[in-house]
Amino acid sequence: MPSVNASNISKIFNEENNSEPIQALTDVSLHIDDNEFVSIIGPSGCGKSTFLMMIAGLETPTKGKVTLDGEVIDGPNGSQSIVFQEYLLFPWKTVKQNIEFGPVLKHESRSSFRHTCESLMELVGLTEFANHYPHELSGGMKQRVAIARALACKPKVLLMDEPFGSLDALTREMLQTELQNIWLKTRCMVLFVTHSISEAIFLADRVVVMSKRPGSIKKIVPIDLERPRTRDMHTGAAFKEYEQILKEAVWEEVTA
Ligand SMILES: Nc1ncnc2c1ncn2[C@@H]1O[C@H](COP(=O)(O)OP(=O)(O)O)[C@@H](O)[C@H]1O
Ligand SMILES: [Mg+2]
């Protein structure tokens, strides 16, 4: 079963060049199981993106190691997909071509990926926009394409770095529900970085709170709310309690 394991990760930037060394992470250990949705919150600059980049194989730890299925991650290998806040779609490709990009790059045969990509397009509600270009889409639609494109590669782990950060509040809430529905169907491992505490709770099985830089894990809160989660849960006592606990934890770090 796929799992990600980070053990005693530290990261220092600028060790080799002449600028001031920056310690981004210190002694981070985290195990994520298959089918798990984990949200990460923490103050700005505490190393959340750096941690995600290590799982993506785009940064290497200075100390410690990160493994995927027991193998040390030493580069992107097709098991990881990332969705960023900026949509990063190819402007010259249509919705369909953007979604098919990963499988095409992997030289999969069209017959093998056609069905997957069509289902994904349907899952994110973009079938009728298949031949549209990114500039013809709203922000929410672009991010739906980015999610479908990430899933088209059938990743073992989906890494999401503040994916809904630039959307308006209403679109953001809609996409949270859609992402949950997609995840309930695909159940791939997700690591989701966000600044929004309620978003972190709404989506996750566990919320990880990171300390201020150099980032370490301050607290892990399992979210015991039944699925599918619904909008009205936001006002429930349990949700409010999680919010309070997490707000306190982040606030301590921001004001430390
Ligand atoms: N490539 C890099 N070179 C030098 N410093 C970096 C680099 N990437 C990130 N940092 C620094 O590491 C710290 C953590 O950054 P980051 O992981 O982006 O934080 P977060 O995503 O939590 O806001 C910050 O101080 C940032 O300036
Ligand atoms: Mg970041």
Cβ count near 195 (within 10 Å): 15
- Is the C-beta atom of 47 inside 6 A of ligand 1? yes
Residue 92 CB burial class (10 angstroms; 0-12, 13-18, ≥19): exposed
CA of 45 relative to ligand 1 center, distance in Å: 6
Rounded-to-integer distance, Cα 238 and Cα 221, Å? 13
CA of 87 to the centre of ligand 1 (A): 20
**Cα separation of the two ends of the chain:** 39
Among all ligands shown, which has an atom nearest to the Cα of 215?
A: 1
Residue 15 beta carbon below 6 angstroms from any ligand 1 atom: no
| Alpha-helical runs (H) found in 59-211 | 95-105, 110-123, 139-152, 169-186, 197-203
Burial status of residue 1 (CB atoms within 10 A of its CB: 0-12, 13-18, 19 or more)? exposed
Cα distances (angstroms) measured from residue 253 to each of 66, 211, 216, 249: 25, 6, 11, 7
Phi, psi of 219 (to 5 degrees): -155, 145
Bridge-based pairing of strands 189-193 and 37-41 is: parallel
d(CA 184, CA 166): 24
pLDDT of residue 157: 96
- Pocket probe for ligand 1: among 12, 18, 22, the residue whose CB has the most ligand atoms within 8 Å is 22
Scanning the structure block, which residue is given the tokens 């169907």? 185
Whole-number pLDDT of residue 105: 87
Does 198 sit in the ligand 1 pocket, CB within 6 Å? no
Candidates 12, 13, 59, 191: which one to mutate for ligand 1, based on the most atoms within 8 Å of Cβ?
13
Instruction: Please tell me the distance between residue 59's alpha carbon and the centre of ligand 1 in angstroms.
Output: 11
Q: How many CA atoms lie less than 13 Å away from 37 in the CB half-sphere?
A: 22
User: What residues does the ion ligand 2 have nearby, CB within 5 Å?
Assistant: 49
* In the block, residue with structure tokens 């799982």: 55
pLDDT of residue 112: 84
CA 51 and chain centroid, separation: 11
Q: Whose CA is nearest to atom 6 of ligand 1?
A: 13
Residue 21 Cβ inside 6 Å of ligand 1? The answer reads: no
**Dihedral over Cα of 208, 212, 217, 219: its sign:** negative
Q: Which residue has the tokens 């491992």?
A: 189
Which ligand is nearest the CA of 14, by number? 1
Task: Determine the distance separating the centroid of ligand 1 and the alpha carbon of 161, expressed in angstroms.
Answer: 13
Cα 28 from Cα 98, distance rounded (Å) = 35
- Atom 1 of ligand 1: nearest residue by CA position: 13
pLDDT of the chain along its 256 residues, tens only? 789 999 999 999 987 777 899 999 999 999 999 999 999 999 999 999 999 999 999 999 999 999 999 999 999 988 999 999 987 899 999 999 999 999 998 888 888 889 999 999 999 999 999 999 999 999 999 999 999 999 999 999 999 999 999 999 999 999 999 999 999 998 999 999 999 999 999 999 999 999 999 999 999 999 999 999 999 999 999 999 999 999 999 999 999 8
| Other C-beta atoms lying within 10 Å of the C-beta of residue 247 | 13
Confirm or reject: Cβ of 58 under 6 Å from ligand 1: no
